[in-house]
A and B are shown apart, each in its own frame.
Chain A
Amino acid sequence: MVSTAYTREDILQLLSRIADPEIPVVTIREIGMLQDVHMTETGCEVIITPTYTGCPAMGIIEADIKSLLDEHDINATVKMVYHPAWTTDNISEAAKEKMKKYGIAPPVHSGCDVANAEAQIACPQCGGKDTEQISRFGSTACKALYKCNECKEPFEYFKCH
């Protein structure tokens, strides 16, 4: 069995290449969706967790994981877990920087409640502080719509969750 040639670390390393289908500049590991890899007798079990319960990217991510490991002849099953619940605190600082360069304002504080108006969101384009929320809901479940009153550009904000 070829898969015995791979350790858990090797597989995690391999999977770290998989990008988030909706925000391709960050990987599923950086965003915190890739939770763990368990080695089994026949291959491995990859543990992933969804950002939002209805996140339509999960199917694609599962397929990406399977096809990547298949290329390396690694027999893998993918298991989705809901506990511990994913939070934006799982997103690495490096990933937040990449998101910002990509044009998405990263989540500003941790463990936040929606009740906090999340008013102080800096514009990822010009860095302007004078921004306002257009809608709590955006093009994907994890983002809200904002506009910058300084450069007048709209932008997306990755909501605290």
Chain B
Amino acid sequence: MANINELKYTYSLRIADNAWILSHRLSEWCSNGPLLEEDLALTNIALDLIGRAQTFYNYAAQLEGKGKTADDLAYRRNERQYYNNLLAEMPNGNFADTIARQLLMSVYEYYFFMSLQNSKDETFAALAVKTLKEVKYHMAHAADWTVRLGDGTEESHEKAQQAIDNLWMYTGELFEADETDTALIAQGLGVDNPSLHSLWETHIKNVLEEATLRLPTADYMQTGGRKGVHTEHLGHMLGEMQYLQRAYPDAKW
């Protein structure tokens, strides 16, 4: 059994990886947004996520105690060493795909950080309080757009429904708990993910209803993020994201 710092290291890394990978995805919208305000919104959210990733990577590095920096953790690990949820690495697709990913993820994050605020680990709790303020904006943004697209034109409705349906099978693993989760839950340090599922689903259902969209019923769920087993998309993304640090290690501006 891993010691408590190792468990917290893994946990902090997972939170950071989710933020980091999703942030990179959103940054791909920079200069490609459907309208200027949306370009700004998506990149603002990306910036919040970079900030979050940095704080949790810093904490992970501190827990590990090997003198690594947040940058080492972000740029010097391979695909199998990333522990983000698969949902975060899904490609941007069309605008409805991105909004659906934002909705599913930010509502999850809302309940996750609400709960992490009560962690007995002071750093986790403090960072959760800080993060939660930002997540509320992300969630409101995603919900607004879900309603506009779902309850919009026939085409936007169809694309929004398709997007939710396509991403649905990546939502199951958000609520899994492996040995790391279980050990931290037992000590009051981590979030009891499985208990968040019904809160999340009710919340999503309400937004979808307002958007005249259906809650998917398919129950096959893909999993792998916690073990570092990813979809084909992550490798391509890391190839681009890590290129500079891999080709020119320790490059400075």
Contact with A along B197-214 (1 / 0, CB 8 A): 000000000000000000
Given known A53-B55, A53-B134, A55-B51, contact A138–B129 (CB-CB < 8 A):
no
The answer to the question of A114 belonging to the interface, with a C-beta cut-off of 8 Å to chain B, is yes
User: What per-residue 1/0 map shows which CB atoms of A84-112 lie under 8 Å from chain B?
Assistant: 01100000000000000000000000000
Check if B134 sits within 8 Å of A135, measured CB to CB: no
Return the contact of A145 from the options B37, B49, B131 (Cβ within 8 A).
Answer: B37
Do B140 and A56 touch (CB < 8 A)? no
The contact of B40 among A53, A85, A138, A159, by CB within 8 Å, is: A138
Q: Chain B contacts of A115 at CB under 8 A?
A: 136, 140
- CB neighbors of A among B105-148 (8 A): 122, 126-127, 129-131, 133-134, 136-137, 140-141
> Are A136 and B131 in touch, CB under 8 angstroms?
no
Pair B130/A135 contact, Cβ less than 8 Å: no
Shortest Cβ gap from B27 to chain A (Å): 11
Interchain CB contact under 8 A, A134 and B47: no
Query: Which residues on B sit within 8 Å (CB–CB) of A141?
Result: 44, 47-48
Q: Are B51 and A82 in contact (CB under 8 A)?
A: no
Q: Cβ of A113 < 8 Å from any Cβ of B?
A: yes
The size of the chain B interface, using a CB distance under 8 A, is 26
Flag if A114 contacts B47 (CB, 8 Å): no
Other-chain contact of B126, A50, A52, A56, A82 (Cβ < 8 Å): A82
Report how far A137 CA is from B40 CA in the complex, Å.
6
From A56, A85, A134, A159, contact of B37 by CB (8 A):
A134
**B48 to A53, Cβ gap below 8 A?**
yes
A50 CA / B41 CA spacing, docked (Å): 20
**Interface of chain B, helix or strand or loop or mixed?**
helix
Q: How far is the CA of A50 from the CA of B50 in the complex (A)?
A: 13
Which of A50, A53, A85, A113 has the largest count of B CB atoms less than 10 A from its CB?
A53
Is A85 a contact of B47 with CB atoms below 8 Å? no
Q: Check: B161 CB closer than 8 A to any chain A CB.
A: no
A78 to chain B: closest CB distance in Å?
A: 15
> How would residues 18 to 58 of chain B score, 1 for a CB under 8 Å from any chain A CB and 0 otherwise?
00000000000000000001101100110111111011000
Cβ of B48 and Cβ of A54 under 8 Å apart?
Answer: yes
Q: Is B40's CB under 8 angstroms from A135's CB?
A: yes
Q: Using Cβ atoms and an 8 Å threshold, which residues of chain A touch B136?
A: 113-115
**Chain B residues in 8 Å Cβ range of A66:** none
Q: Cα distance A32–B221 when bound, in Å?
A: 46
Residues of B within 8 A of A139 (CB): 40
What are 9 sample pairs from A and B whose C-beta atoms fall under 8 A apart? A52-B51, A54-B48, A54-B54, A56-B47, A82-B126, A114-B137, A114-B140, A135-B40, A136-B137
- Across chains A and B, which 10 residue pairs bring their CB atoms closest together, nearest first? A54-B51, A53-B51, A83-B126, A135-B37, A137-B41, A137-B44, A54-B47, A85-B130, A114-B136, A85-B129
Contact surface of B with A, Cβ cutoff 8 Å: 37-38, 40-41, 44-45, 47-52, 54-55, 122, 126-127, 129-131, 133-134, 136-137, 140-141
